[in-house]
Amino acid sequence: MTIPTLITTAQALLAPGKGILAADESSPTIEKRFKDINLPSTEENRRAYREMLFTTPEIGKYISGVILFDETIRQKLKDGTPMPLALSKQGIIPGIKVDEGAVALTNFPGEKITHGLDGLRERLADYRNLGARFTKWRAVITIGKNQPSQTALEANAAALAQYAALSQEADLVPIVEPEVLMDGDHTIARCEEVITATLKAVFDALFEYRIALEGMLLKSGMVLSGKECPQQAGISEVAESTIRTFRRTVPSAVPGIVFLSGGQSDVESTERLNAICASGNLPWKLTFSFGRALQAPSLQAWKGLPDQVGAGQAALHHRSKCNSLALTGAYSDKIEKAG
Ligand code: 13P
C-alpha cells in the first residue's frame, strides 16, 4: 500500500465541481431499470447503454469518476476501446463495485449482510490491471421496529472494514458505503439516530482494522424522512440534520463524503445537495455519487434507440451540470429549467 497514491486518487475524485457517476448496477438491477423503457437486458444493450453514458461530450467537466460493474469493466466501445480507457480519455477515473450483493442475515429477519470477501484480494489485483483506481462496497441497513440490530450494524461494519483494508492494500481507494434505506414511515429524527449509530459502528471498525482514513471516501445517504412518513422534512431540515450527523461521526481525516441518491427524484437530490453544500465551513469535501438521480432522465431519453444517443447524452450532461453547480450552492430553478 502506498498512502500517497491513495490520497492523490481520493483528492482527484473530489476535484472542485466534480462528482462520481455510479453506473455499477448489477445484472438484476439494470434489468429492472431497462424494464421501465421496455428494453431487454442483453449484454449488447447493457454495453450500448454504458457507451452512450461514457462518451457524452465534455462529461469529464463534471464527473471525476465512474463506478463500473464487473461486466462493464471488461467491455469495449463499438470502436474497440476498452471501457476504462474510454473513461480515462475523458479525464475520468475508472472505479469498480467489488461487493457481491446483500443477502439475508440469518436469524435477523429483514436484515442483510453484504457478501464478497472470499477471493477479494485476487479480484482486486485483476481490477487494478484492468484500469480501476478505486472501489466500492455497499452495505444495506434497514430501519424498522427494533431494526437495525446492533449485530447487523457490527457485522456489516466489519465486512466494510475488511474490504477497505484489502482495497487499500491493492492501492485502490475504497468507497465505504453503508446505505441506510429510505424505505419506511420513520421520521427524520429516527433516520438521524440510525445513520449516527451506523457511522459510529463503521468508523469503530475502520479504526480497528487500521484503515488509512486519508485514503478512503465515505458514501452515505442524506438524512431524510422515511419514504412513507406523512411528515416530510423540508430542505433546510435535511441539510441541518445531515451535516450535524456527519460532524458527530465522521473524522476530519476522511477527505470526502459522497452522496448516493437512494430513490429520491433527480431534482430533489440536486436541491438537497445544493442546500447541504451551502452549509459552509466543513472538515471534509462533499460531492455526489448518484446512480438513479444522474441516469434516470438519460435512460428515459435514450430508450435504447440508436438515434436517441444524443438526447440521452444531453440529459446526462444537464443533470451532471446541475449537480456540479449544487456543490457550491449555485444550483437554482432557473438553471434546472434551462435544460
Ligand atoms: P443511487 O444513487 O441510485 O442510490 O445509487 C448509488 C449507489 O451507488 C448505490 O450503491
The pLDDT tens digits of the residues spanning 105-120 come to 999 999 999 999 999 9
- How many degrees, rounded to 5, is the angle at CA 271 between CA 322 and CA 228? 135
Write out the three cell numbers for 56: 457524452
Buried b (16+ CB within 10 A) or exposed e, 322-332: bbbbbbeeebe
CA 135/CA 157 separation, integer angstroms:
16
Task: State the CB neighbour count (10 A cutoff) for residue 22.
Answer: 28
Residue 10 Cβ < 6 Å to ligand 1:
no
Dihedral pair phi/psi, residue 266, rounded to 5°: -60, -45
pLDDT score of 270 more than 90: yes
**Model pLDDT, residue 174:** 99
Which protein residue has the closest C-alpha to ligand 1 atom 8? 22
pLDDT digit string, tens, across residues 68-127? 999 999 999 999 999 999 999 999 999 999 999 999 999 999 999 999 999 999 999 999
CA 200/CA 202 separation, integer angstroms:
5
Active site residue 219: yes
Residue 260 Cβ < 6 Å to ligand 1:
yes
Residue 290 Cβ < 6 Å to ligand 1:
yes
Residue 226 Cβ < 6 Å to ligand 1:
no
Active site residue 214: no
**Model pLDDT, residue 149:** 98
Reduced to 3 states (helix: H, G, I; strand: E, B; else coil), residue 31 is: helix
CA 174/CA 161 separation, integer angstroms:
10
CA 290/CA 312 separation, integer angstroms:
17
Q: What is the mean pLDDT of residues 297-320?
A: 98
The one-character DSSP state at 147 is B
Among 41, 22, 39, smallest CA distance to 31 is for 41
Question: Any bridge partners for residue 141, and if so which?
Answer: 180
Reduced to 3 states (helix: H, G, I; strand: E, B; else coil), residue 287 is: strand
From 25, 51, 111, 177, the catalytic residue = 177
- Rounded to the nearest angstrom, the distance between the alpha carbon of 256 and the centre of ligand 1 is 17
Q: What is the mean pLDDT of residues 141-164?
A: 98
Q: How many alpha carbons fall within 13 Å on the CB side of residue 198?
A: 30
Going by pLDDT thresholds of 50, 70 and 90, the confidence category of residue 257 is very high
Residue 261 Cβ < 6 Å to ligand 1:
yes
**Model pLDDT, residue 241:** 98
- Rounded to the nearest angstrom, the distance between the alpha carbon of 303 and the centre of ligand 1 is 21
Residues 6+ apart with CB under 8 A from 42: none
**Model pLDDT, residue 290:** 98
CA 324/CA 274 separation, integer angstroms:
9
- Rounded to the nearest angstrom, the distance between the alpha carbon of 294 and the centre of ligand 1 is 10
Task: For residue 259, give the ligand 1 atom closest to its CA.
Answer: 2
**Model pLDDT, residue 42:** 98
Among 53, 81, 45, 51, smallest CA distance to 312 is for 53
**Model pLDDT, residue 84:** 98
- Rounded to the nearest angstrom, the distance between the alpha carbon of 132 and the centre of ligand 1 is 19
Which protein residue has the closest C-alpha to ligand 1 atom 4? 262
pLDDT score of 1 more than 90: no
**Model pLDDT, residue 339:** 75
Buried b (16+ CB within 10 A) or exposed e, 91-124: ebbbbbbbbbebeebeebeebbbbebbeebeebb
pLDDT digit string, tens, across residues 157-192? 999 999 999 999 999 999 999 999 999 999 999 999
> Residue holding cell 469493466?
73
Cβ 147 vs Cβ 110: under 8 Å: yes
Residue 262 Cβ < 6 Å to ligand 1:
yes
CA 292/CA 298 separation, integer angstroms:
10
Residue 255 Cβ < 6 Å to ligand 1:
no
Residue 291 Cβ < 6 Å to ligand 1:
yes
Q: How many alpha carbons fall within 13 Å on the CB side of residue 204?
A: 12
Q: Which domains does the chain have, with CATH numbers?
A: 3-338 (3.20.20.70)
Cβ 139 vs Cβ 179: under 8 Å: yes
pTM of the full predicted structure?
A: 0.98
Cβ 238 vs Cβ 188: under 8 Å: yes
For ligand 1, mutation pick of 137, 227, 258, 289 (most atoms within 8 Å of CB): 289
